[in-house]
Structure 1
C-alpha cells in the first residue's frame, strides 16, 4: 500500500528560498547536509506545509500562510512547544527538530519536524484500501480512543499546565470566533448574527475538567500504520491546541463528520470518508466518547453547533484572504459557498434539535 502523501512544486507566491533555508538549517544541526529539495503538500488550508528532502532523508516544514492572519493564529513557537512537551507523554506526535524565530530567514517564524510515514485519509478511501463495515467501525473506535487519550494527558507532567486558560473557555471561544467572523465577513456570506446570538445565549456550564485539546482532530489529521491501517500512529497539525473544555474539542470534530444519511448538499461538502459503510454516525461517536472518557454529555447540540460555526469562521478567514488577493490557491474560490452551507446547517440543528 502506498503511503507517500502527494506533494508538488510550491504554489506561485508560496515558494521558499532553498539556498537561504539550507544555509540556516546546516548551522543549526549537522543532520541537515547536502542539497535541499523542497515540495509542498497539497492538503491543508491554514498553515503551509512543505516536504524537505536531502538525499534519502525527509523532514516536514510548517510556516504561517501569506497575507492577513488572525492576531493570535499561526503561532509556530507555540506549536513547536506543544510537540516538544508531548513527546514524553503522548506517543502520537511527530518529533520536532528545530524552530526558527528569525524572520530574516523566511520572513516569518517556522519549524521543522520529523516526517511520520503512513496513510492519511482524505475525502474518499484510497482505491487500494479495502475496509469492511466492521473495519470501518473499528477505525472509528480507534479515532475516539486517541482523542480520549489526549484529553487524559497529565498536563502537569507534560509541562503544559500554563498552555491555556481553561476557566471561562466556552465563553471566550464563542466571543472570539464571533468577533473573527465579523472581521473577516465578505458581502456574499450570511451575517450569522442570529446564530452568534444563539451561541451566546445557550452556553452550557463548564464540564469541570480542563484537558489538552487538539481543536482540529479528524481523519486527515491522523496518520495510519501502512501495515495495519486500523492503527493510528500519528496526530498532525497542532496549531490550535490548548487547554480547554474537551467537549468543545469533540464538537469541533463532529463538525467534519458527514454521515451517509446527511442531505445531498452536505455530502457535496464532505471532506472525509465518514460516510463509508460501517462508519459511525455522529451520535455513535458521541456515545463512544462518553463511554470511553467517563465524561457525561448533556447538551451535545450546543457543541455541534459551535463546531459548525467555528469551521465556518475558519473557512471565511481563508476565503477573505482569497477574495482580497492575498492567496492565489484556486481551491479557496468556493469557500464562500462552504461558509453559507455551514451556517445553514447550524441553524437547522438549532431549529430541529437533532444532529
Structure 2
C-alpha cells in the first residue's frame, strides 16, 4: 500500500558509481552502491529511490535535456526545505546537496524518505475509507495548506524570497507571456480569458505569506497506520512568498469533483471525486472560515488557477508538438489546452449572470 518506485525510465538513468562515491564521501553510512528505482511523476523534476541495506533515501534532480536557467533550481528548493523544517515538520529532512556537475551534470539533493501513502488518482485498493473518513482526510490536507500560509516566514529566515508588493500582477504578466510563447497553431489564444483576468485583477494582494504553488493530494504523504493523517508535504520547487488566495486557486484547478464533466474527470489525478470529499465551493468556504480572508470575489483566483494550469499543459505540449519530446502521454495535451480555455470561458460567462 506504500507509494512504490519502479524501474528507472529509459534515458533517465544515473551514473551510480559517481553517485555512490559522492554520497559515501558525505557520510560513511552510505556504503556501497545503492539499488535505484524511480517514482512516477509528471514532466518536471525527477525523483529517485536509493536503497541501501540499512536506509532508503530520495534523490531529486532536474529533467534531462535543455531547460531554462531559472527553472528546476534544486539548491533553492533544498534551501527552502531546510529553512521550513523547524517550523513546518511535514517537510522531509534534506541530507545533502550537490552542485558539482561532474557527478550528474546538474545540481541535485538527497533527502530522507517518508514511508507512507501518496494519494494519487485513486487511493490504493487496500485503503477503503468511509465518507466521514474521506471528509476528515480532505480537511486534514487543507489544514496543512492553511498552516503553511500562517507561518512566520521572517522568523523562518525566508524573507529573502520576497519580491515586493504586486505578486498577483507579476503572476498575470508572467503566465500570460509564457502562454503566448508556448502557443502552437492548433490551440486557442486565450486572449479573451487574459483580458477578463486583467480587468478583474484585485487592486492589491490579499496578504503576503509563504505559498507552496503546487499543493495537491499527490504532493502529500499519509501515515500508513492512520491514513487520514498527513505526515509529509513534498515538491517545494515553486514555493515562494505570495498571495494565499492565488495558492488556493492553483490548488483548486486540479480539484476534479464528482459532478464535473467527463473531460475534466478524464484528467483527474487525485481522489477528490470520492464521497465525503469537499466540493471546490466547500473548500473555499472552509478556508475562509479558518483564515478570515475574504473570498467574495474568488472567481478571479479560480479562473486564474485554470489558466495557469493551461499554460503548464501548453508548455509541455509545445515540446511534443515541436518534437522535442516523444512521450506519447503528451500527445493529447493540445486538446486539454483547448478544453481548459473553454472551461475558463464558461466560468467567466457564469460570473456575469
Whether the TM-score (by the shorter chain) exceeds 0.5 is yes
Query: In the aligned structure 1, how far is the partner of 2:68 from the partner of 2:199?
Result: 25
| Number of aligned residues | 352
Residue 328 of structure 1: CA displacement? 3.9
Contact 1:34 1:55 in 2 (8 A): no
Residue 301 of structure 1: CA displacement? 0.7
Residue 322 of structure 1: CA displacement? 3.0
Contact 2:206 2:244 in 1 (8 A): no
| Backbone CA RMSD of aligned residues | 1.5
Residue 163 of structure 1: CA displacement? 1.3
Among 308, 311, 318, the alignment partner of 1:310 is: 308
Query: In the aligned structure 1, how far is the partner of 2:122 from the partner of 2:287?
Result: 24
Structure 1 residue 113 corresponds to structure 2 residue 111 = yes
Residue 166 of structure 1: CA displacement? 4.6
Among 280, 284, 300, the alignment partner of 1:282 is: 280
* TM-score, structure 2 as length reference: 0.96
Residue 327 of structure 1: CA displacement? 3.5
Which residues in structure 2 correspond to 1:16-31 (within 5 Å)? Answer: 16-31=14-29
Deviations 1:261-311 (A, max 9, x none): 111221112111111111100000000100111111121111011111111
Query: In the aligned structure 2, how far is the partner of 1:321 from the partner of 1:53?
Result: 33
* TM-score, structure 1 as length reference: 0.95
1:231 maps to: 229
Contact 2:5 2:38 in 1 (8 A): yes
Query: In the aligned structure 2, how far is the partner of 1:324 from the partner of 1:278?
Result: 43
Query: In the aligned structure 1, how far is the partner of 2:174 from the partner of 2:263?
Result: 28
Q: 1:115–1:329: structure 2 CA closer, same or farther, 3 Å change rule?
A: farther
Contact 1:212 1:242 in 2 (8 A): yes
Secondary structure at the aligned position of 2:110 is classed as strand
1:343 maps to: 341
Deviations 1:43-71 (A, max 9, x none): 23311111111223111111111234344
Contact 1:206 1:245 in 2 (8 A): no
Long gaps (5+) in structure 2: none
Query: In the aligned structure 2, how far is the partner of 1:325 from the partner of 1:331?
Result: 13
Contact 1:46 1:318 in 2 (8 A): no
2:241 maps to: 243
Long gaps (5+) in structure 1: none
2:79 maps to: 81
Query: In the aligned structure 2, how far is the partner of 1:105 from the partner of 1:325?
Result: 29
Is the deviation greater in 191-200 or in 308-317?
Answer: 191-200
Deviations 1:125-144 (A, max 9, x none): 22111111111111111111
Which residues in structure 2 correspond to 1:319-334 (within 5 Å)? Answer: 319-334=317-332
Residue 338 of structure 1: CA displacement? 1.9
Secondary structure at the aligned position of 1:31 is classed as coil
Q: 1:113–1:177: structure 2 CA closer, same or farther, 3 Å change rule?
A: same
Is the deviation greater in 222-231 or in 54-63?
Answer: 54-63
Query: In the aligned structure 2, how far is the partner of 1:85 from the partner of 1:200?
Result: 34
Is the deviation greater in 274-283 or in 189-198?
Answer: 189-198
Secondary structure at the aligned position of 1:322 is classed as helix
Secondary structure at the aligned position of 2:96 is classed as strand
Query: In the aligned structure 1, how far is the partner of 2:324 from the partner of 2:92?
Result: 30
